Structure 1
Amino acid sequence: MDLLGGAALALGTVVVVVVGGGIVALVVVARRVRSGAIPRFGGTGIHELTRRAGTLLVRLDDRLRDADSELGYAIAQFGADAAKPWADALSGARAKVAEAYRLRHALDDAEPDSDRRQREWTLQIIALCEQAERQLDEQDDAFTRLRGREVSAEGTLRELRSRIEDARARAAASRELLSDAAARFAPAALAAVADHPAQADRLLDDAAVRADAAAAGIAPSGVSSVSGILAEAEQIVHRAGDLLESVERTVRDLEAASAALATRRRELAEDATQARAEVESAPDPDSGAAILDALRELEAITPLSPADPVRELDRLDEAASRLDLALAGSRNQKQRFAHALAAYEGTLVSARSQIAVVRDLVAGGRAGVSARTRLAEAERQLAIAEAETDPVEKLDAVRRAVTHARDADALARYDLGG
């Protein structure tokens, strides 16, 4: 069955249902008017309402009589799939007009109606016509936009091909960026984006094939039916761009983490010196022993080779956290605040970087609900940390964000099979 035949059959079905349900409709109309679902038009008289209803019916009837040729043109220009929303809108509008005519016929029959019934049914006719007009107007606007895109298809294709070439150059630059980063950072630090340039190339090849298919469909007249293909190709290029952005962001994050790591090591060396001085002034032997244990653990952390600054920041932060606990009894509040602020900056870099990596893993669509839940909690704790004004609370929140991001990463990689 073609689209026009289907629309006609759907209309016939709707009319039968409408006529068969006439008695029920009469009751529903009255209820809708009383509930306010149908406008009362204030104190507008019945004669003016009748004229408005008649004008709307005539206008819609003429519009629907011309609509089949519009639908045929849309099918010929854009194809049956693209024209289906227009066919559905026509079918719905015809059903509403058929119901409006049924009500008008009931008002015009030999049996007199009460003033209240005349008003209610006339208002229902107006409401049905206005709903039908809105349906048709929405589809008219949609097809106007679609025709505009089709007319400019040649320019869109040129822009698309330019974007593909730019993205190919960006993919080549991303490969060089990864190659340079691989000489400085551990493979695990780059694993999440290592294949992104290759994935982007495959997507760009797909987009280029679609661009060629669209080019073959552009008519000399300037009116073509290729907007769907062009839109799909544009989305594919956008996805390729997202992959390349992930590569660039990951390398930026690793470089930022490297800088933060150097600063963090200097700060922790100063903290260790201060902590040794505080061992003698510890309030009790257990407190002094706890400080010494934490210091030994911190000093045992040596630089990773090959470098993984995010992981190393994590290890340092865990050791620094234990030192904080050991020093809590001997540091005054001012010192704790200053220390928390210093620790916060490095931990913040780690949290943001790890959350970004997990976001990329989840974006692939295969990560399960547990990984997504941990990621959401990590993002929530990061937001708390960034909004908090108390330095100690900020540090605690950002550390919780790191913990949840680490858990989310492990769960996501498990879901992805490694």
Structure 2
Amino acid sequence: MAGFWGKRRRDDDRFQAEDSELAKRAGAALVAADERIRVTKDELVFAEAELGADATADLSTALASVRQHLGEAFRLNQLNHDEIPDTAEELRQRNARIVQLCEWAENVLDERTAALAEKIARARRAPEILTGVRADAASLRSRLPHARETVARLAARYSQDALAQVGANPAEAEQLIGFAEHSAGVAERRREAGQREHANLALEASTESVRRAATLLDAVETFEVEALRAEATLGAIVEDSRGDIVVALKEPHSPGVAAAITELQSALAALPMAGVNVDPFTHLNRLREANAGLDAAIAAARERAARPIPPVEHVLHAVDDADRQLAVARDLIAGHRGWIGADARTRLAEAERIRVDLDRFLGTSASAATSIDEDLREEAMAMARRVAYLAGEAIQLARRDIDSSRPQDPGQWGGGWGGGRRGGGSDVMGGILGGLVIGSVLDGIFD
């Protein structure tokens, strides 16, 4: 007995320690959440001044909701310390709820302030950013003459179609630079006038314009390098393509290979003569596609050569066999409908569906076809064999259902229509009719 009371005392001590720790957590969480609300309120005032009410609407709404829920936490904490005695369970539930509310409040404020953090940081660094935008714009403007010279040099070597992707870049970059300089001035003037929201919009426009102008000018330099690489690669692919044609001509005859060779020869013939303005990117892409098509055609021809194509007669025999199997399955199931279950019926339905697809696949009645294209024979053979297999399964399942439904006692079949019949008239008629379901006829046939 002493051991029981000792264990109970130890359990009580452990629960008291856990409740005390939970109470400390609740108090600390309440203080932290309250301070976080006060700090966020100050941040919201600054954000609204810098970004405007629209940009900070989500944070403002979240702050109001958090303050409301934190009020509930304070009320629960007040109940824990009023003059009314509380049970241990009541204190435990309140403290747990306080911790939950405070953690939720912290998470909501973290999410909303994180969404504005970058914009707020940008607003605080606005003067520094404006200085950087003007410096970047000046640097980009100094690159414009070189970009124009590069485009002029490229125009003498490459076709207009090839140069279309960068030909207008210097002019577009110059417009963007001018817009960036103008927007920077607007941002500065609006900030001095206290119109922070408009100032930030103009600042974002200026920084984005500078970024786009730099991208356009960089693209001019990149194009020249990539065009030279494309020309070098084009020469190598031309040599490879000619060698591929020689190899392909030695492959087994195939309509697909012949068409692929013709396409690759056309791509080679379309290449301009030396000294003529070219579009290396377009020619390179066409040669790559033609080479890939030839590789695929050769692979298909080799695979087909390794797997002989079935003769037309074999395909037709397979279709005839499938039709015979289907006919047997249909007759067996139709003649014993009352005994046939779902499995046999499902196999028959699937076989009939594939049989219809086979006719559609061949575009005619397969049994009457005198010739089938080589490209279709193998798949037609597979479809016909699938039909026969499913029909055979339907037959086996139907026979299983019939055997399991027939009376096992031969005496049930004898004795004529009179007193020798055992089990009643319904058993006799069930056996004689082979499971036919004819509705109410069986119910009243002996009346």
Could you state the TM-score of these two structures normalised by the residue count of structure 2?
0.49
CA distance in 1: counterparts of 2:199 and 2:15, whole angstroms: 49
Write the mapping of 1:301-380 to structure 2, written as runs, cut at 5 A.
Answer: 301-303=270-272, 305-317=276-288
Residue of 214, 231, 256 corresponding to 1:258: 231
Query: Secondary structure of the residue that 1:45 maps to in structure 2?
Result: helix
How many residues are aligned here? Answer: 283
CA deviation after TM superposition for structure 1 residue 214, in Å = 2.4
8 Å contact kept, 1:96–1:128:
yes
Could you state the TM-score of these two structures normalised by the residue count of structure 1?
0.51
- Counterpart code for 1:197: P
Q: Does residue 128 of the first structure (1) align with residue 97 of the second (2)?
A: no
- Counterpart code for 2:281: V
Counterpart in 2 of 1:49? 22
- Counterpart code for 1:311: T
Q: 1:184 to 1:89 in 2, by over 3 A?
A: same
CA distance in 2: counterparts of 1:49 and 1:259, whole angstroms: 73
8 Å contact kept, 2:50–2:200:
no
Residue of 208, 215, 235 corresponding to 1:235: 208
- Indicate the structure (1 or 2) with the bigger Cα radius of gyration: 2
Counterpart in 1 of 2:161? 188
Q: 1:229 to 1:89 in 2, by over 3 A?
A: farther
8 Å contact kept, 1:103–1:121:
yes
- Counterpart code for 2:151: L
- Counterpart code for 1:306: N
Q: 1:65 to 1:164 in 2, by over 3 A?
A: closer
CA deviation after TM superposition for structure 1 residue 327, in Å = 7.9
CA deviation after TM superposition for structure 1 residue 194, in Å = 3.3
CA distance in 2: counterparts of 1:42 and 1:303, whole angstroms: 90
CA deviation after TM superposition for structure 1 residue 173, in Å = 3.3
Cα deviation per residue 1:78-132 (whole Å; 9 max; x = unaligned)?
Answer: 5434554553343132022122134335556777654333212211112212333
8 Å contact kept, 2:238–2:268:
no
8 Å contact kept, 1:153–1:224:
no
Cα deviation per residue 1:207-228 (whole Å; 9 max; x = unaligned)?
Answer: 22221122225669xx999555
- Counterpart code for 2:280: P
Cα deviation per residue 1:312-349 (whole Å; 9 max; x = unaligned)?
Answer: 33454566567768988999xxxxxxxxxxxxxxxxxx
Q: 1:326 to 1:226 in 2, by over 3 A?
A: closer
CA deviation after TM superposition for structure 1 residue 258, in Å = 1.4
CA distance in 1: counterparts of 2:55 and 2:15, whole angstroms: 42
Residue of 132, 136, 149 corresponding to 1:176: 149
Q: 1:87 to 1:306 in 2, by over 3 A?
A: same
- Counterpart code for 1:303: P
CA deviation after TM superposition for structure 1 residue 46, in Å = 2.5
CA deviation after TM superposition for structure 1 residue 284, in Å = 7.5
Q: Does residue 214 of the first structure (1) align with residue 175 of the second (2)?
A: no
Q: 1:206 to 1:109 in 2, by over 3 A?
A: same
8 Å contact kept, 1:89–1:136:
yes
Q: 1:185 to 1:53 in 2, by over 3 A?
A: same
Cα deviation per residue 1:182-214 (whole Å; 9 max; x = unaligned)?
Answer: 221121122233333333333323222221122
Counterpart in 1 of 2:67? 94
**% same residue:** 32
CA distance in 1: counterparts of 2:268 and 2:120, whole angstroms: 69
Q: Does residue 201 of the first structure (1) align with residue 170 of the second (2)?
A: no
CA distance in 2: counterparts of 1:70 and 1:298, whole angstroms: 65
Query: Secondary structure of the residue that 1:96 maps to in structure 2?
Result: helix
Q: 1:142 to 1:97 in 2, by over 3 A?
A: same
Cα deviation per residue 1:275-320 (whole Å; 9 max; x = unaligned)?
Answer: 6xx97xx587989x969x7597577445264312223334545665
Unaligned stretches of 5+ residues in structure 2: 1-13, 303-447
CA distance in 2: counterparts of 1:327 and 1:56, whole angstroms: 72
Counterpart in 1 of 2:126? 153
Counterpart in 1 of 2:319? none
